[in-house]
């Protein structure tokens, strides 16, 4: 797989950062994580069900319900601590970021046919100097990048399986989202769909 690096609005896009073998190995590790911390369908504080399903690994997981958006140390369904972040993701983090701090959360988002993620900012963390690293697995996703404030001109790019995005610097607090996926565009996941992993420092 050809590797490329593209910068759009400060979003650093590493195309083909993970080859097929690395993607397959990571998916196998994610299956083990999801056996312990199964995917849940969160709802917004207004009671609307999100179209993505979520889980997490690490010290913290991000949750959303009628009580609001926040990080928790235990799975909302099982009450158990989140599984550890796979070592290969920690290696990827330090290879692309070189930050002294380890990520404390790996959010796992699963997109089925028709799922999307509205424009939002990752702003529930304490240290915005620490970047967010995003890994795409499975079907192509149309990633939209905006501004620190809502509205205004945006730009979009198709993210493919194995692509990695680093959101740091001026992009750290910019709005971004996934408008749609090309369901069935990848053979990585047996039943189709897209997995997005986001690593971040929480405290």
How crowded is residue 202: how many other Cβ atoms within 10 Å of its Cβ? Answer: 18
Confidence of residue 100 (pLDDT cuts 50, 70, 90): confident
pLDDT one-digit tens code per residue, 114-153:
999 989 998 889 999 999 999 999 999 999 999 989 889 9
Confidence of residue 2 (pLDDT cuts 50, 70, 90): low
Structure tokens that stand for 112 in this block: 């089925």
Mean pLDDT, range 30-54, rounded to an integer: 91
Beta bridge partners of 138: 194
Structure tokens that stand for 129 in this block: 């100097």
Going across the sheet that includes 194-200, the strands are 4-8, 11-15, 164-167, 132-138, 194-200, 105-111, 53-58
**CATH value at residue 103:** 2.60.120.590
132: Cβ contacts below 8 Å, ≥ 6 apart: 122, 166, 167, 168, 172, 198, 199, 200
Residue whose pair of structure tokens reads 């405290």 in the numeric block: 203
pLDDT for position 76:
92
Total structural domains within the chain: 1
pLDDT for position 22:
97
Cα 203 from Cα 148, distance rounded (Å): 21
**Domain annotation covers residue 16:** yes
Q: Could you tell me how far CA 66 lies from the centroid of its own chain?
A: 22
User: Is the Cα torsion angle 77, 78, 79, 83 positive or negative in sign?
Assistant: negative
**Domain annotation covers residue 51:** yes
Q: What is the largest CA-CA distance in the chain?
A: 44
In the predicted model, is pLDDT for residue 1 greater than 70?
A: no
Q: What is the mean pLDDT of the chain?
A: 93
**Residue 50, domain extent:** 4-171+182-200
Structure tokens that stand for 146 in this block: 């905006």
**Domain annotation covers residue 120:** yes
Cα 178 from Cα 15, distance rounded (Å): 17
DSSP state letter for 170: G
Phi, psi for 49 (deg, rounded to 5)? -75, 135
CB-count burial class (<10 Å; 0-12, 13-18, 19+) for 124: middle
Helices 20-36 and 87-96 meet at what angle, rounded to 10? 130
pLDDT for position 48:
84
**Domain annotation covers residue 176:** no
**Domain annotation covers residue 155:** yes
Confidence of residue 66 (pLDDT cuts 50, 70, 90): confident
């Amino acid at each position: 797989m050809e590797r490329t690096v593209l910068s759009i609005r400060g979003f650093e896009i590493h195309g083909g950062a993970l080859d097929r073998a690395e993607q397959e190995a990571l998916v196998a590790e994610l299956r083990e994580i999801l056996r312990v911390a199964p995917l849940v369908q969160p709802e917004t504080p207004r009671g609307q069900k999100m179209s993505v399903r979520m889980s997490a690994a690490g010290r913290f997981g991000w949750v959303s319900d009628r009580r609001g958006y926040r990080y928790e140390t235990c799975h909302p369904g099982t009450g158990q601590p989140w599984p550890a972040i796979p070592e290969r993701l920690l290696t990827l983090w330090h290879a692309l970021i070189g930050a002294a701090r380890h990520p404390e959360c790996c959010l796992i988002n699963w997109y089925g046919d028709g799922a999307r993620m509205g424009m939002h900012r990752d702003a529930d963390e304490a240290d915005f100097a620490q970047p967010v690293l995003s890994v795409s697995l499975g079907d192509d996703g149309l990633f939209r990048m905006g501004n620190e404030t809502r509205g205004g001109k945006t730009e979009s790019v198709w993210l493919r399986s194995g692509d990695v995005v680093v959101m740091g610097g001026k992009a750290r607090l910019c709005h971004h989202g996934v408008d749609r996926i090309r369901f069935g565009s990848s053979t990585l996941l047996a039943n189709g769909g897209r997995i997005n992993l986001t690593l971040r420092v929480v405290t």
